Amino acid sequence: MSQFGNYTYSRTYRGKVQALVLDWSGTIADAYVIAPAVVFVEVFKNQGVEISMEEARGPMGLRKDLHIKMLTEDPVIAERWKSIKGKYPDQSDVDAMFKDFVPAQLDCLRKYTTILPGVKDVLVDLQKQGLKIGASTGFVRSMVDVLLEDCIKQGFTPDATVAGDEVINGARPAPHMV
């Protein structure tokens, strides 16, 4: 509190926008965020437990190992798991599924790297105006490298990219990746 009673003072930025940070899936490419969802369904199916695409999308935005963990903590999925496997899923199950997730995601990722219509032109134009463009994702760095390579081939190069395994919390929209 200042010496002037109930007044507070704060600084605010009033300049131009200087940077834009976008998510890869659904914003730059993969309009319906299919790439990770199909693989989540696949890794659960490999464990003998069916999940729907809707269930697979539930915690979208998290780092992918955390996403799998959140799926195993969903009460409906956990009960389904127990009815099939005789126990609730635990961290070893999460680790096993994530181990399967990474190569499966890398195998199918290029199917979903086409930049969405109009996005490249807008982003390139914003860069020409001096804005820095960043891309963040819950994918791990090896997956970001695939996305980045294909993005560059299509004519857009982000100024910065951050993968889910490059930050401690790996979750968005919290500011950890920004």
23 is catalytic: yes
Residue 129 scores a pLDDT above 80: yes
What is the reported pLDDT for 169?
67
Please give the Cα distance from 76 to 173 (Å, whole number): 25
Q: What's this model's pTM, rounded to 2 decimal places?
A: 0.82
What is the reported pLDDT for 47?
97
- Residue 162: both structure tokens together: 């951050």
Greater confidence (102 vs 8) lies with 102
> Nearest to residue 172, comparing CAs of 68, 61, 20?
61
**Structure confidence at residue 10 as a pLDDT band (50, 70, 90):** confident
Phi, psi of 33 (to 5 degrees): 50, 55
Q: Has domain 34-111 been given CATH number 3.40.50.300?
A: no
Domain 19-32+113-166, what architecture? 3-Layer(aba) Sandwich (3.40)
Please give the Cα distance from 37 to 19 (Å, whole number): 29
For the residues 64-93, what does the mean pLDDT come to? 97
pLDDT > 70 fraction of the chain, expressed in percent and rounded: 92
b/e map of 97-135 (b: 16 or more CB within 10 Å)? bbebbbebbbeebeebbebeeebbeebeeebeeeeebeb
What is the reported pLDDT for 3?
59
Q: Which of 65-74, 86-95, 158-167 comes out lowest in average pLDDT? A: 158-167
- Residue among 23, 30, 65, 93 flagged as catalytic: 23
What is the reported pLDDT for 171?
61
- Residue among 64, 65, 69, 93 flagged as catalytic: 64
- Residue 137: both structure tokens together: 């994702």
For the residues 130-137, what does the mean pLDDT come to? 94
Question: Where do the structural domains in the chain lie, given as residue ranges?
Answer: 19-32+113-166, 34-111
Same-fold call for 19-32+113-166 versus 34-111: no
With both helix axes pointing from N to C terminus, report the angle between 91-108 and 64-73 in degrees, rounded to the nearest 10.
130
160-162 sheet: strands from edge to edge: 19-23, 132-136, 160-162
What mean pLDDT value characterizes the chain? 91
